[in-house]
Amino acid sequence: MRRREFIAGLGGVVAWPAAGSAQRSAKIYRVGLLATGGAFGSGDERRKTILEGLAARGFVEGQNLVFDVRWGEGRYDRLSELAAALKAANADVIVTFGYPAALAAKETAKEVPIVVTGSGDPVATGLADGLARPGGYVTGMTELSTELSAKRLEILKEAVPNLRRVAMLWNAADLGMTLRYRAAETAAKALNVSVQTLGVREPNDFDTLHLRR
C-alpha cells in the first residue's frame, strides 16, 4: 500500500484502490489526530467516521492501524508542541480539526502529510495554494461556511424584516471563523443591519462581553 494512496483516502480526494492491497501490507499505519479543543474518546463521531472510512478500505484499528490523539484543550500555544510530538512519533499522516491545529501542523510537522478538516477555506486562510494544487503536504476538505454565513444572515432578515441589529459571537483566534464573521458583516451592511462584534480568544473573554441595548 503506497503512503500517498493512504493519505488521499483520508482526505476523500481520490478513488481508493482495492482493500485487499491494504490487508496484504505488514505495515501498521499511525494516524495522528490533532484537535484544538478538548479530548475525544472512542465514541466521538469524528473518530468513528474516520474509522469507518478506513475500515472500508482494509485498515482496522488494532491490526494495521493505530491512532495517536493529541488535543490542545483550548490552549493554542500548545498546538505546535503537540504537532511536533506527532512528527517525532513517526505519524504517517496528521488529521487536524480546526484552523489553529491545521496551521500548527503545517508549520511544525513539516514533511508529514496533513489532512485538514473544519478549517474553513484552506486557500483563503493560506493553508493551501489552491484547491486543484494545494502545494506542500496539505490536503483535505474545503467548506462553504464563509459564503453560508452571509446567506444565513440574509435568511434571518427575510424571516424578521424589522431586524436592525445582530450580535456575532466567534472565535477570534481562528482565522477560518474570522473570515466567516467578515462575510456576515459585509452582508449586514448591504442589508442595513448593524453588527455588534463579540470575538473571543479564550474562556476568560466571556466575562468581559457586554451586549448593547
**For position 177, which CATH number holds?**
3.40.50.2300
Among 89, 109, 140, the domain-final residue is 140
Calpha distance 77→55 (Å, rounded): 34
Strongest mean pLDDT among 56-65, 82-91, 116-125, 182-191? 82-91
- Domain termination site, one of 140, 163, 179: 140
Residue span of the structural domain in which 15 resides: 3-140
Residues making up the chain, counted from first to last: 213
What is the model's pTM? 0.73
The last residue of one of the domains, among 121, 140, 159, is 140
Asked if 20 and 117 sit in the same domain, the reply is yes
Average pLDDT over all residues of the chain: 79
31 neighbors 7 (Cβ within 8 angstroms): no
CB 179 within 8 A of CB 146: yes
Task: Write down the pLDDT at residue 26.
Answer: 75
Q: What is the pLDDT of residues 128-144, one digit of tens each?
A: 887 777 778 888 877 77
- Please answer whether residues 40 and 46 qualify as being in contact, where contact means their C-beta atoms are separated by less than 8 angstroms: yes
Query: Which residue, among 109, 120, 114, has the nearest Cα to 147 in the 3D structure?
Result: 120
pLDDT one-digit tens code per residue, 57-77: 888 888 888 999 998 887 888
* 156 in the same domain as 123: no
pLDDT at 147 over 70: yes
Domain assignment of residue 191, yes or no? yes
- 74 is a domain residue: yes
